[in-house]
């Protein structure tokens, strides 16, 4: 039996850090949505009990460090599944980019294995399992547009944004999410206007959404990695309706209402950044 499933990338329309918790995690408030840039996960039942992984299009581990492996191993353990699975990951989402590629792959694997191992789990149950793998996995299980709170694992669905183009540019460097959080001074943050962003989504007000884009981690990453600040400046110079860094970076995305403008921005950025994508928002579940 086989199953093929798409694993789209996410962006944060807003990301606010409220406080550091005693368990070491940060309490966050994030408005997230999906973009039409996806990995593909192909699952094939194995005749033995093994979990095997093959990756094309990107360099990620094929052993238990891969979040996809962790997703399969978790289901196998929890539901005492004797069957094995071969997982082929076709990477399209830039790696270590702030686009939750690994989390989305893990979420797609949970959903695909639920089918081919006939587990009969609900989406809510898959999201709870996803939280054991990573904070962004529950959102990726639901997809669409959502408010994520707690350490990111509590999900409340939101209306999707109006149709818009997204131009993503990833500078050729990796950012350590842990380091960004360590450098963050929570007492001196500029906070996001989360409620206003949610209202803008409810009104499908694209102009307000672009104005309200905010990421509390951006300042730290921009200061630590000038290349990211440079990309952001270039996007602003070339013209976009809104610009923000996604997650802990380094990807910077632009929201653009018009396709012709998105194309122009894409072409301008290609001149000095190799990893650029112009895609649509896919905020619906």
Residues at the interface with ligand ATP (CB under 6 A): 60-61, 65-68, 89, 95-103, 105, 136, 177, 247-248
Q: Residue 127 annotated as binding?
A: no
Q: Residue 95 annotated as binding?
A: yes
How many CB atoms within 10 Å of residue 102?
A: 26
Q: Residue 101 annotated as binding?
A: yes
Nearer to ligand ATP, 140 or 238 (CB): 140
Active site residue 185: no
- Counting other chains too, the contacts that 126-134 makes at CB distance below 8 Å and 24 or more residues apart are 127/153, 127/155, 129/74, 129/75, 129/78, 130/71, 130/103, 130/106, 132/74, 133/67, 133/70, 133/71, 133/74, 133/103, 133/106, 134/67, 134/102, 134/103, 134/106
Nearer to ligand ATP, 29 or 136 (CB): 136
Nearest to residue 14, comparing CAs of 197, 233, 168?
A: 197
Q: Residue 103 annotated as binding?
A: yes
Nearer to ligand ATP, 16 or 206 (CB): 16
The encoded tokens of residue 267 equal: 């072409």
H or E segment to which residue 155 belongs: strand 154-157
Nearer to ligand ATP, 177 or 193 (CB): 177
Active site residue 284: no
Name the active-site residue from 111, 136, 232, 241.
Answer: 136
Q: Which residues are catalytic?
A: 10, 136
């Amino acid at each position: 039996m086989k199953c093929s499933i798409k694993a789209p990338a996410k962006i944060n329309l807003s990301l606010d850090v409220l406080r550091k918790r005693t368990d070491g995690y940060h309490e966050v408030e994030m408005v997230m949505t999906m973009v039409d840039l996806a990995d593909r996960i192909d699952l094939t039942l194995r005749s033995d009990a093994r979990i095997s992984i093959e990756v094309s299009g990107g360099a990620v581990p094929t052993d238990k460090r891969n979040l996809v492996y962790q997703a399969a191993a978790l289901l196998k353990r929890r539901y005492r599944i004797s069957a094995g699975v071969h997982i082929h990951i076709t990477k399209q989402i830039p790696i270590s980019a702030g686009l939750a590629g690994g989390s989305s792959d893990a979420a797609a694997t949970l959903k695909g294995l639920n089918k081919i191992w006939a587990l009969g789990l609900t989406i809510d149950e898959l999201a709870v399992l996803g939280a054991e793998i990573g904070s962004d996995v529950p959102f990726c299980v639901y997809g669409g547009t959502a408010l994520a709170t707690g350490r990111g694992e509590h999900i409340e669905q939101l209306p999707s944004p109006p149709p818009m183009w997204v131009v993503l540019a990833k500078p050729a460097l990796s950012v350590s999410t842990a380091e960004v959080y360590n450098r963050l001074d929570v007492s001196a943050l500029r906070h996001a206007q989360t409620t206003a962003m949610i209202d803008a989504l409810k009104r499908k007000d694209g102009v307000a959404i672009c104005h309200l884009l905010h990421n509390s981690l951006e300042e730290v990453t921009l200061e630590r990695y000038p290349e990211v600040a440079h990309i952001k400046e270039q996007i602003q110079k070339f013209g976009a309706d809104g610009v923000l860094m996604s997650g802990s970076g380094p990807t910077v995305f632009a929201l653009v209402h018009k396709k012709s403008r998105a194309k122009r921005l894409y072409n301008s950025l290609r001149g000095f950044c190799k990893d650029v994508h112009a895609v649509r928002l896919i905020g619906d579940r």
